[in-house]
């Protein structure tokens, strides 16, 4: 399957990797929307949050813990935002589940 994030996971496409675990990697977004903009990506190909079924119990929690660890690493003591764009209306452009960790500036609500 020709998936960009699978290619980053396998090392075929370079990325600015900042942390990794058994089931995930974290790298800086190529088009950052905040001073910190990191993507947490499962090593396994999972299309979106909607595909996170019983067979992957625990993966969601691991990704969230990774997001919090990355926020600590980048010193985001004043807070941050974790986003999982899902599907067309959610604005998902890469069909491989990922969490965005955004911080280093105040976030607005509602998002666009």
Q: Which residues lie near ligand AMP (CB under 6 A)? A: 4, 13, 15, 27, 29-31, 39, 85, 91-94
- What minimum distance in Å lies between the beta carbon of 13 and ligand AMP? 6
* Residue 54 vs 112, nearer CB to ligand AMP: 112
The candidate with the shortest Cα–Cα distance to 86, out of 99, 76, 77, 73, is 99
Question: How far from 81 is each of 9, 24, 76, 102, CA to CA, in Å?
Answer: 23, 19, 10, 5
What element of type H or E holds 80?
strand 80-83
**Strand pairing category for 24-28 and 17-20:** antiparallel
Nearer to ligand AMP, 14 or 79 (CB): 14
Which residues touch 6 (CB under 8 Å, ≥6 apart)? Answer: 45, 96
Least Å distance between CB 9 and ligand AMP?
12
Give me the catalytic one of 37, 45, 96, 98.
98
100 given a catalytic annotation: no
Minimal distance, residue 79 CB to ligand AMP, in Å: 20
Check residue 51 and report its DSSP letter. G
Considering beta carbons, is residue 34 or 76 the nearer one to ligand AMP?
34
Active site residues: 98
């Amino acid at each position: 399957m020709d998936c960009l994030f699978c290619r980053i996971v396998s090392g075929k496409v370079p990325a600015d990797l900042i942390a990794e675990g058994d089931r995930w990697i974290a790298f800086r977004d190529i088009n950052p929307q905040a001073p910190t903009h990191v993507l947490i990506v499962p090593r396994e190909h999972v299309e979106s949050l909607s595909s996170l079924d019983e067979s992957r119990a625990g993966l969601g929690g691991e990704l969230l813990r990774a997001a919090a660890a990355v926020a600590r690493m980048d010193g985001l003591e004043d807070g941050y935002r974790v986003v999982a764009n899902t599907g067309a209306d959610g604005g998902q452009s890469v069909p491989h589940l990922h969490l965005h960790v955004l911080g280093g500036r105040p976030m607005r609500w509602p998002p666009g």
